Structure 1
Amino acid sequence: MAKKVKKRKEIKRKLLHKYRLVILNESTFEEKISFKLSRLNVFVTGSLFIIGLIGLTTLLIAFTPLREYIPGYSSTELKRQATELTYKTDSLVRSLDYTNRYLDNIRMVLRGEVENTVVNRDSLFEQYKLDPSTVDLTPIKEDSLLRAEVALEDKYNLFERNSEKIGIVFFPPITGMVTQQYDSDSKHYAVDVVAPKNAPVKAVANGVVIFSEWTADTGYVLIIEHKEGFLSAYKHNGSLNKKQGDLVKAGEVIASVGNTGELTTGPHLHFELWDNGTPVNPLDFIDFK
């Protein structure tokens, strides 16, 4: 027991024993600064310094941008940016998909090809078209009264009435004789119109030029995009007056009749009309005489 008490006193003495730390001038040995220290003071001071350093480092990491340089740390700002980039990437993928489909449509126009999955819309219309003779078109009494009331109101209406939408109207690109008509069976999705060489070729409707280049098979080709999903293609031209991106109006000269390309037999215009990726007979919309 006495040994334990003696050992405790020895430890206490060592911890509380005072030491003097003196800083001297090297040349004159003059005492500048002196400290009285003990092992306990050094231990407590060192512990407090380490705890303060850890606390300061924690604050710097938690409340300053330095935390973003720690490997594996993910901040809220970085998560937000990653989410925004994900949305933008998804939008770009969709836009790229739409663009690729649009370009595929243009390639079909240039090559004169149609996918096997395309359904002939004219045949569908014929299949489901109603026979007017089987429909009773006799107006009922209420309908007659309503018609009379509306006619009376319109009679004294001084303001311009909205006209019914009748769709896009196409003008003939040139006038001449059609030598080869539209024939889907032989994959001739166009009409060939003979005209004098260098005769002006005009736009059939308002639109924007989306293709204006030379191709080996069909020579100088120009394609215009119109409203409601229509595309008009002009092939075998002698020269082109418009370039890609130009806005054109109906009746504006866009090219001249020529005999360019390998698949031509003389000066003429090879004219195609496409409706939302499906070729249609231009003679159903345009009179070339």
Structure 2
Amino acid sequence: MHKKRRKKVLSILLIPDNEQAPRTLKIRYSFLYALAAVVVLVVLAALFGAASYGLVLRQALKSQSLAQENLQLKEQLAKVNQLAEELEALKSYGEKVRSTLQGYIKFVENPEEGRSPSMATPTGVGEGMSSIFASIPVLAPVHGFISQEFHWPVHNGIDIVAPEGTPIRASADGMVVFSNWTTRDGFAVMIHHDRGYFTYYKHNQRNLVLPYQYVHQGDVIALLGNSGEKSSGPHLHFEVWKDGRPLDPLRLIRDLEQEASK
């Protein structure tokens, strides 16, 4: 004959405060195991829920940051579009300068030597040529060590390392179309120049110009800094664009290239 297996139970003796007889509460171990399993599942579910909520919260914060940055870019684009008609008038600047130069340069006869006509260059030509070069970004915004060169499309400009607080100068005459803070680039300045040129000055410590302000070549527009998420040390990220395409600044700014090679 097989012996009956006795079910394992936990007996709890309950003794009331009054004079009533004690009572015994019996609980099966299988019930306790099931209850413990339920508690463990509830705890694991709570931990998983907390982790999932943290992940969702981080993604939401990241999405909010990207949305704010996109809004800033849209506002910048709206400002540029608003200035399009005003800047259109600047495109005729080069033609006017060339017309002026043609009026200054003319052929004259040399009656003393009887030679063929020669070209005379009055003093006004020098001023006209200065005006042309002043409207093209050929001036180094700051001198220092070039830590990263132009590599399109990965790097649309050059990085110039210099002491923090070094004055940054406008590379050419033009109108400031943006001067504000951005999340990635920190304090940044964008200037529109004649002949379809734009220059960008990023990661500044502080901007010293305002939007719609006209600046001349060599004017101090900002102080070199280390602002923005993309900056890892004091430097100027400098870009030159023409007709919507980035150019290597070293193709235009020869004095910067010479300074970097010293």
What TM-score, normalized by structure 1, do the two folds share? Answer: 0.45
Q: Which structure has the greater CA radius of gyration?
A: 1
Structure with more relative contact order (C-alpha pairs < 8 Å, separation 6 or more): 2
